[in-house]
Structure 1
Amino acid sequence: MRKRVNRPTLRLGALGATVLVVTAAVMPPLNVAEAQERYYQRRSILDFFLGRRYIDEYPAPPPGQNAAPRRQVVPKKKVAPKAVATPRPSAPVVPEEKAVQKLDNAQKILVVGDFLAGGLGVGLEAAFQDSPGIVIETHSNVSSGLVRDDYYNWPAQLTKFMDEAKPAMVVVMLGANDRQQMVTDVGKEKFRTDGWYAEYQRRVVAFGKQVTSRKIPLLWVGLPAFDSPSMTADAVQMNLLYRKQAESVGAEFVDIWDGFVSEGGDFIVTGSDINGQQVRLRTSDGINLTDAGRRKLAFYVEKPARRILGTQASPDLVRLDTGNGPGLDLPANTVGRTEPISLSDPNLDGGTELLGGRALPTGNGKSPRDLLVEQGEMAPAPTGRVDDYRITSAKAEPEVSTK
């Protein structure tokens, strides 16, 4: 069955086709550029309602060339200017301190021992870095001690080191690895037994005599506290042994215990350094020392070392000889050389007796004070002084009569 079409609809369709044919016949043919121009200028119904416009971004091409496609130009958003950061003032440049040049004939401090002695040597190098007359020479073995002489024979090594270095002082720190069984001539001795302590005491004395027999000052440094309570208790007993035996051979015991414990005597990880600042002194294992701990350990040794070495450890030292005095720019042959004089020398004042050795000389007459107190006599005042009543007054001028 055919679908019926309204006649008005057919008439409108025919009319539209006629208009298109006439328009096509009248209008000239469009080239590609004109087609693109009309395409980009065509507006949809959305453009009509939203009010959008197309702005040509590129100029129109010359005749005979294809026109470039035109884009929609969207206005850029205004961005607030960024705040300019005020430059920070640069830190002042601190000049690096030059290392003090050591003297060719500088005296040596020989440091020997285990791993704690190795850290002590590092701290002493920092302590004496400004002293041109002192050089630190450290010989340490991490796992060594006086018990296992089969592993490291310290008596033989110490003699070798002293012969090579010819030190002005020896500093020893041993014992942290000696809490173990010892093999003696009799047999094996367990740690903490009476036989163990007797043999260990003998070895400490023999070790100290190797140094003091050469007339070399010896500083024996004690052990610090440890994180382990048993190690701390053993360190206390061993320090008592070190102190007694070191003093018996003429050495000096350096007690460092208070620097690494609290006020109650407990082990501490953090404490005050040599400047009083709170720093970490011990590592996480509770045995080794940090850099600050090593410097603090050396602080306890530095004081007796400077006292024993005297002017050799002075930072103002120029050379180590008898002519180390300040230079005087004086002409030659003007001042004779004089030997040093001791302050305790009786001849310092030109006499042969000490002060008070002889009676003071007495005068024959009496002093003005004695005359004034005893006899009430006052010595005449010097001529011209205000209390010199001997000055004669000027004669009075005769009065002129007005009559």
Structure 2
Amino acid sequence: MSGRDSSSGLHRLFNGLIVVAISLTACVMEPPRQAQAQERRTILDMLFGFGRRQAPPVYDDAPIYEPRQRQPQQQQRLKVRKTQQKAKPAPAEPAPVVVEKLETAKKVLVVGDFVAGSLGDGLKTAFETTPGIVIETRANGSSGLVREDYFNWPENLSAYISETKPALIIISLGANERQQMSIGGEKEKFRTDRWLAEYTRRAGAFAALARKDKTPMLWVGMPPFQSTSMTADMVTLNGVFRTEAEKVGGTFVDIWDGFVDEDGKFVMTGSDINGQQVRLRGSDGINLTKAGKRKLAFYVEKDIRKLLGDAAASAQDIPGADGMKDLVVAAPTANEDILQTQPIGLNDPELDGSTTLLGGGAVLTSNGKSPRDRLVEKGEVAEAPAGRVDDFRLSKPDTVISNPVFRN
């Protein structure tokens, strides 16, 4: 082969290699149809794996990712947990015991302002199991003895007495009296001397009207209130009520201590009739809660039972001492002298030297004085038994000297 032929062969080989390289490059540079959305890769990435890692191709038939749905059992468990996390409902109060009232039941008439209304509610609860007592409440929340033009209590009390024919009348007034009073066509300011004189006259006339038929009457005093000035005024009015009620033979019921603390200050929370700490007053510091009404009635309840006697006995009451059989109580024995015996030896066949059991012999007469009484009153010290460590007598009895235990 000539040199020209060899050079031409090399030239054709070199051109062929170039064509192959160009073809490979074209194949590499053309991305597949399924991955057109991806970035183009170079020859270096193909041969040596250079470049950043790409996400796997997404094909048309690939499933779409959806968040896993909770199974029905899991949803049920979540509902149960949420239900358990909710606050437990308060236990239902037991249904009140309904006791049918007797046809001959005595009626208790409660009259006055909103405090009288609260008192009536508390008394109904107190006597709900008492068949012989019926509570009749006739209260006007905004009434009093000052504004006769708004509500005339003397006229209405007479009508209430004729309607109910009560065996006992309870009055509770005073919470709405802190205002001007019309006296002889003139307006008189609260707590002046003239105002107090006229109000005292009206209170006395109202108490006398309640006692007109000699019906027992209770006048319940006012409780303290959150306002210090109002509380001070209630102290003054309670003094008027006590004086006028007792003048006509009525009874004044003081409830003040049940709604103050140890220092005599107003309290919102205090002890109920069972000694438990409860809310007694409303948020306004004036009205009473259910527990406060019951405590208010507690102070009046005992007077009602005392005045009405057997009619106020509850169906659940326990018979008193009069209905119980007399208990046999043995008379106390006389204070006898203490009997002392000698120590007993285990090897003594006759024990303490006697054949008679303790108490089997003649009963010793007592002088009624114990060794302690003789020591305190006369300074006499009882003699120690022979042979005891505190027996300091010089002459020992023969029984002690002959005992081997006491020999030297």
Partner of 1:297: 296
Which one-letter code corresponds to 1:143 in the other structure?
S
| Count of residue correspondences | 281
Give 1:72 shift.
8.7
Determine if the alignment matches structure 1 residue 244 to structure 2 residue 236: no
Q: Deviations over 1:340-381 (max 9, x none)?
A: xx9xxxxxxxxxxxxxxxxxxxxxxxxxxxxxxxxxxxxxxx
Please report how far the alpha carbon of residue 11 of structure 1 lies from its aligned counterpart in structure 2 after TM superposition: 2.7
* Partner in structure 2 of residue 273 of structure 1: 272
- The verdict on how the C-alpha distance between 1:72 and 1:229 changes in structure 2, with shifts beyond 3 A counting, is closer
- The aligned amino acid for 2:107 is K
Q: Which secondary structure state, in structure 2, belongs to the residue aligned with residue 267 of structure 1?
A: coil
Structure 2 match to 1:107: 106
- AA aligned to 2:215 is I
**CA-atom RMSD in angstroms:** 4.5
User: 1:194 Cα deviation (Å)?
Assistant: 2.3
Q: Matched residues, percent identical?
A: 52
**1:210 and 1:53, CA in 2 relative to 1: closer, same or farther beyond 3 A?**
same
SS at match of 1:161: helix
| Cα distance in 2 for residues equivalent to 1:267 and 1:250 | 31
Report the equivalent of 1:363.
Answer: none
Measure the CA separation in 1 of the matches of 2:274 and 2:123.
Answer: 16
- Which letter does structure 2 place at the counterpart of 1:11? V
Deviations along 1:64-123, one digit per CA (max 9) or x if unpaired, are: xxxx9354999x9xx9x99998x99x9999863432222344222111111111111111
Alignment of 1:176 with 2:184, yes or no, is: no
Question: Partner residue of 1:355?
Answer: none
Instruction: Please give the secondary structure, in 2, of the residue aligned with 1:207.
Output: helix
Q: Find the residue that maps to 2:110 and give its secondary structure.
A: strand
Separation in 1, partners of 2:291, 2:96: 20
Q: Which residue of 2 aligns with 1:69?
A: 61
Distance 1:225 1:95, change over 3 A: closer
1:121-160 pair list within 5 angstroms: 121-160=120-159
Paired amino acid for 1:193: T
Task: Look up the match of 2:216.
Answer: 217
Q: Cα deviation per residue 1:30-77 (whole Å; 9 max; x = unaligned)?
A: xxxxxxxx979xxx999xx99x999xxxxxxxxxxxxx9354999x9x
Amino acid of the structure 2 residue aligned with 1:174: L
- C-alpha distance in 2, partners of 1:108/1:310? 13
Structure number having the greater helix percentage: 2
Tell me, what secondary structure is at the counterpart of 1:230? helix
In the alignment, structure 1 residue 163 sits paired with structure 2 residue 162? yes
1:316 aligns with 2:315: yes
| Aligned equivalents of 1:164, 1:317: Cα separation in 2 | 30
Distance 1:176 1:53, change over 3 A: closer
Counterparts of 2:91 and 2:115, CA distance in 1: 38
TM-score, normalising length: structure 1: 0.58
Rounded Cα–Cα distance in structure 1 between residues aligned with 2:174 and 2:100: 35
Q: Is the 8 A contact 2:278 2:291 kept in 1?
A: yes
Per-residue deviation, residues 3-47 of structure 1 (Å, max 9, x unmatched): xxx94476328977xx9xxxxxxxxxxxxxxxxxx979xxx999x
- Give the structure-2-normalised TM-score: 0.58
Name the CA distance, whole Å, in 2 between partners of 1:93 and 1:180.
44
**1:12 partner amino acid:** V
3-state SS in 1 of match to 2:171: strand
Following the alignment from structure 1 to structure 2, what is the Cα–Cα distance between the partners of residues 126 and 73? 68
Deviation at 1:153, TM superposition (A): 0.3
Alignment check: 8 A CA contact 1:123 1:295 kept: yes
State whether residues 145 and 175 of structure 1, in contact with CA within 8 Å, keep that contact through their aligned partners in structure 2: yes
Q: Which moved more, 1:189-198 or 1:218-227?
A: 189-198
- Report the alpha carbon displacement of residue 229 of structure 1 after superposing the two structures with TM: 2.1
Gaps spanning 5+ residues in structure 2: where? 1-13, 28-32, 323-408
Residue of structure 2 equivalent to 1:11? 19
Q: Does 1:255 align with 2:254?
A: yes
Kept after mapping to 2: 8 A contact 1:311/1:317: no
- Paired residues of 2:97 and 2:129 also in contact (CA < 8 A): no
**Closer/same/farther in 2, CA of residues 311 and 187 from structure 1, 3 Å limit:** same
- What letter corresponds to residue 211 of structure 1 in structure 2? A
Distance 1:216 1:233, change over 3 A: same
Aligned position for 2:225: 226
